[in-house]
Amino acid sequence: MKYRRFGKLDWKVSALGFGAMRLPIIGADRGNVDEDLAIRMMRYAIDHGVNYLDTAYPYHNGNSEKVVGKALQDGYRKKIKLATKMPMRLVNAQVDLDKIFNEQLSRLQTENIDFYLFHGLNMDSWVKMRDLNALQWAENKVEEGRIDYLGFSFHDEYEVFKNIIDGYEGWTFCQILYNYLDMEQQAGVRGLRYAASKGLAVVVMEPIAGGRLAVPPPTEIQAVWDEAKIKRTPADLALQWVWGHLEVSIALSGMSTMQQVIENVESANRSGPRTLTKKELDLITTVKEKYKEHGFIGCTDCGYCQPCPEGVEIPKILSLINEYYKKQGDQEAQQKIVKQYYETVPPEKGVKNCAKCGECEEKCPQQLPISKLLEETNFIFETDRIAIRKLAKV
């Protein structure tokens, strides 16, 4: 395993971190984690040098922290630094901070959290934090020995990111969205460089764009990759691109299978600031433009996956999520696509009905991971629908 400096701390973190947001599940319920497999996956990663494990209060309907706590028994807690997050959207009074934090300690079966984040900060939650004096609360926890270091994860525009960093001197680290498709989104490359210039460790989430960069690409994009002399998997290319930035301390990967853990550990073992060749970097630039043109999903609308035993309108749903991806950076256009989904796809034919039986994947000539794509679609469209409803109330 390769290790990198974690900001100003006299400690080095593994290039790869284990993100516990996409643990393997049984059936379609995200709360029903396959505990035995998840624990084996986390312990395999730790046994192979991963020393940073990230979870959060709401992941897997609250069960991620519980499974992580079980995985860290038998001496594994001492082998890693543990990160979890305070969900400010669920906090309405200061008393909620203690209530949630104590529940987290119980779930994780630990007496302290090494790296504690305020989860998904944006302008509204940053204002809420100040109104509730949440930073003073966190500093008290540091003094009590319950928290070692404070940070935040982020989802908003660059100027908000800069304001949050400048608004508090006690930050040790931050967590941002960053991959070769999203380098201009949210905090982006400017935020990466600004945080590093302030001495903050930068934890990168979604280095593989939520797994989308690992999905077999459309034919037009695969043709570009085929030009590379060095053959790499799409996931390896995406990770190596992130690790190529000296400002990055660690890349988190939300892994759902043991094979993903094995491959990502091997990728981290090869990581470094100049791993990719100029030719490969040029190919990534070309691929980025192709993704904007064609989207992520190589579905040809052949209809071989139909009929679905559960009635899911697979081709239509894949077409909508592909259009959503193509509108990256255009929030208004993406919201229209989400509305279109809920207006045109009846609930009984929607993504929530996928039973992950695998029948569609056996029939798909493109060999697409349809169950995973539908799961991601459900997560994205449901999250955006909630956001749209909140905007409608303003």
For the chain, the domains span 3-285, 314-393
CA distance 291 to 209: 12
Fold (CATH) for 3-285 = TIM Barrel (3.20.20)
For the chain, state the CA radius of gyration: 21
pLDDT of residue 110: 97
Between 170 and 215, where is the model more confident?
170
Residues 23 and 256 sit within 8 Å (Cβ to Cβ): yes
Look at the alpha carbons of 312, 333, 300, 364 in this order and tell me if their dihedral is positive or negative. Answer: negative
Residues 381 and 375 sit within 8 Å (Cβ to Cβ): no
Q: How confident is the model at residue 300 (pLDDT cuts 50, 70, 90)?
A: low
pLDDT of residue 391: 46
Q: For residue 128, give every residue at least 6 positions away whose Cβ sits within 8 Å of its Cβ, in sequence order, or none.
A: 88, 91, 134
Task: Answer whether 0.95 is exceeded by the pTM.
Answer: no
Which range, of 212-216, 259-263, 268-272, 368-372, averages the lowest pLDDT?
212-216
What are 264-285's pLDDT values in tens digits?
Answer: 999 999 999 889 989 889 989 9
On the question of pLDDT at 367 being above 90, the answer is no
Residues 267 and 214 sit within 8 Å (Cβ to Cβ): no
Amino acid identity for residue 171 in this structure: W
H helices present in 228-369, as ranges: 234-243, 258-269, 278-294, 314-326, 331-344, 359-363
Give percent above pLDDT 70 in the chain: 95
For 347, the 3-state DSSP assignment is helix
Average pLDDT, the chain: 90
What DSSP character marks residue 308? P
Region 341-346 average pLDDT: 92
What are 75-102's pLDDT values in tens digits?
Answer: 999 999 999 999 998 999 999 999 999 9
Q: How confident is the model at residue 334 (pLDDT cuts 50, 70, 90)?
A: confident
* Ramachandran assignment for 80, one of left (phi > 0), alpha (psi -120 to 50 degrees), beta (any other): beta
Burial class (CB in 10 A: 0-12, 13-18, 19+), 309: exposed
Q: Which residues on adjacent β-strands are paired with residue 344?
A: none
What are 100-123's pLDDT values in tens digits?
Answer: 999 999 999 999 999 999 999 999
What are 145-157's pLDDT values in tens digits?
Answer: 999 999 999 988 9
Region 26-49 average pLDDT: 93
Q: For residue 221, give every residue at least 6 positions away whose Cβ sits within 8 Å of its Cβ, in sequence order, or none.
A: 287, 290, 291, 294, 298
pLDDT of residue 239: 96
Region 293-314 average pLDDT: 81
On the question of pLDDT at 394 being above 50, the answer is no
On the question of pLDDT at 390 being above 70, the answer is no
Structure tokens at 16: 């790869």
